[in-house]
Structure 1
Amino acid sequence: MIPDILSQGQYATVYNFLSLVIASQLFTAVFLLISLPRVLPRYRQAITVAIVVCGIAAYHYFRIFDSFKDAFISKAAGGAGDYSQAVGVSFNEGYRYVDWLLTVPLLLVELIAVLALARKVQSGLLMRLVPAAALMIALGYPGEISGDNGLRGLFGLLSTIPFAYILYVLFVQLSKSLNTQPVSVRKTIGRLRFLLLLSWGVYPIAYLLPLLNISGADAWVFKQVGYSVADIVAKAVYALIIFGIAKAKSYEDNAEFAASEAAHDDVASSRR
């Protein structure tokens, strides 16, 4: 699906979206690192995992960004013309799959960790979700790199099986644990599962483009933009919501901690 030529506008669109993802992931990680003391220790594991996820994503997007710049070059002065594929250089889509293989299981770890369930329940959920997430990504990669639509469809179907299992665990088995959560965060946690589903839904759509005979430069640019937006939502936005849940649960668990945080906010406001 990698096009031979990109217009200046198409090149700039991909360039700017890749840059946006780098900034989003990097500075979300910095914010969470600075804010880590603002939640109780029992919820810091979830925030630490979120920092790691955003850090991994930022690193891989740096690699994707460099690969994109190397793969497409313009012979016009100041890059004003079309961009064609450089001889002997190809855009490496594999960086995304390495990123997803690491981060998608960790996104599920974030969710389970912030719930702070009993150890046995937490371990049981992780033993189901983490292998299924890794298998989903691993099965999707052979189809992604294949030029054969039959193989692409086969591996797409195979990767859907662990995806469906993840949805079953999140929306059926995990629902039983939501009743143990504070009322103030119960709805947010429930909606967080839909955020994952919404953001993950972009990936199979982009994956299916060749099977729908949708190709060319516009389709490729659409795929890169879709992946970029989905990664921002599934990692940076998701992490900030996890932080909000951890903070709310910290306040529910410890009134003294909540009071000290409120005092901290009042001091910060007065200095403005």
Structure 2
Amino acid sequence: MAFNAAAEFVPSLSAAQFSTVYNLFSLVIASMLFTAIYLLVSQRRVAPRYRNALVVSAIVCGIAAYHYIRIFNNFGEAYPAGATVDDAHLASNVVFNEGYRYVDWLLTVPLLLIETVAVMALARDTQRKLLFKLVPASALMIVLGYPGEISGDFGTRALWGFLSTIPFVYLLWVLFVELSRSLDRQPPEVVHTIKMLRISLVGLWGVYPIAYMFPMIGGDFFGGPDGFVLRQAGYSIADILAKAAYGLAIYKIARVKSRLEDPAYDDDHASTPVAADPRPVAA
């Protein structure tokens, strides 16, 4: 029977370590939940062709909020409070389930790719071909990483981590190349933002394999409570940036392109009052 790496290496957390992880999970829940609400109520501020991208972004944040609520509750059960405020939080018989993250990623990563392709407004055939490459690769990456995440064995974690890296690298390569190719077809006003999306995809998604490797590094720091806290912090902050912040970047691109295509979506234009006709009204 597979056992969780966190349960094996982290028998207890100090009050400060517990509070750090607890507050991080709370921050992620708030970030995801209210970003989802904001994106949903902002649909009317973009042209209809870009609204699907915002809806998908909101769904991504909503799914993440739900799973972080599950992680939040599970964490409190796995490391219950001691007799006093300063007591260590000893691991209970409830295992901290890192697998919740993988269920979340299995749903949200393909959706993140869909929203990225949607906001590019590429030709329909190009979109289909691109998603046919990206979605299966993203699902394979998550599925291959899961057995290593729930295993406390170094070799098992290393093997599945390596296998998961293959579709991960392919995914980043396709995204980077295709986003680069799309720059020529994008308005100059959004080119910089799209370039930043490319960098964020490589930079932010690179946090996940680094955090994944922490238990493999070993030592008192990486294999102990501090490493556990750092891993949760890495996953949590990367999720905020890769989902909530990324969704807001998608919204920014949709807003700019909507204003360029239709002045009705320009706030300044919409708020300018129509001048009154100076001619007298006939009796």
2:155, 2:123 → 1: CA distance? 45
1:113, 1:146 → 2: CA distance? 37
Q: CA deviation at 1:85?
A: 1.1
Superposed CA deviations along residues 183-242 of structure 1, whole A, max 9, x for unmatched, are 110121121021122111111111111221130100001001111100000000000000
* Corresponding residue number in structure 2 for 1:101: 106
The AA in structure 2 aligned to 1:38 is R
Q: Which of the numbers 162, 171, 181 marks the counterpart of 1:166?
A: 171
1:55 aligned onto 2:55: no
8 Å contact kept, 2:134–2:171: yes
Flag the structure with larger Rg. Answer: 2
2:45, 2:181 → 1: CA distance? 28
Task: Report the 3-state secondary structure (helix = DSSP H, G, I; strand = E; otherwise coil) of the residue aligned with 1:16.
Answer: helix
* Corresponding residue number in structure 2 for 1:227: 235
Q: Which of the numbers 246, 254, 257 marks the counterpart of 1:238?
A: 246
8 Å contact kept, 1:53–1:106: yes
Q: Which of the numbers 196, 204, 210 marks the counterpart of 1:205?
A: 210
Unpaired stretches in structure 2, ≥5 consecutive residues: 274-283
1:250 aligned onto 2:255: no
Q: CA deviation at 1:153?
A: 1.1
Q: CA deviation at 1:27?
A: 0.5
CA RMSD of aligned residues (A): 1.4
1:19 aligned onto 2:26: yes
1:207, 1:266 → 2: CA distance? 53
1:46, 1:17 → 2: CA distance? 27
1:37 aligned onto 2:78: no
2:271, 2:166 → 1: CA distance? 47
- Matched positions, count: 263
* Corresponding residue number in structure 2 for 1:182: 187
The AA in structure 2 aligned to 1:76 is A
8 Å contact kept, 1:139–1:159: yes
Unpaired stretches in structure 1, ≥5 consecutive residues: 268-272
Sequence identity percentage: 56
The AA in structure 1 aligned to 2:160 is F
List structure 1 runs of 4+ shifted beyond 4 angstroms. 263-267
Q: TM-score normalised to the size of structure 1?
A: 0.93
8 Å contact kept, 1:74–1:80: no
Residues 62 and 265 of structure 1: CA distance in aligned 2, closer, same or farther (over 3 Å) = farther
Task: Report the 3-state secondary structure (helix = DSSP H, G, I; strand = E; otherwise coil) of the residue aligned with 1:60.
Answer: helix
2:45, 2:245 → 1: CA distance? 18
1:256, 1:74 → 2: CA distance? 56
8 Å contact kept, 1:21–1:61: yes
Task: Report the 3-state secondary structure (helix = DSSP H, G, I; strand = E; otherwise coil) of the residue aligned with 2:26.
Answer: helix
* Corresponding residue number in structure 1 for 2:151: 146
Task: Report the 3-state secondary structure (helix = DSSP H, G, I; strand = E; otherwise coil) of the residue aligned with 2:127.
Answer: helix
8 Å contact kept, 1:60–1:96: yes
Task: Report the 3-state secondary structure (helix = DSSP H, G, I; strand = E; otherwise coil) of the residue aligned with 2:42.
Answer: helix
2:178, 2:63 → 1: CA distance? 29
2:194, 2:109 → 1: CA distance? 18
Q: Which of the numbers 161, 167, 180 marks the counterpart of 1:156?
A: 161
Task: Report the 3-state secondary structure (helix = DSSP H, G, I; strand = E; otherwise coil) of the residue aligned with 1:209.
Answer: helix
2:244, 2:176 → 1: CA distance? 22
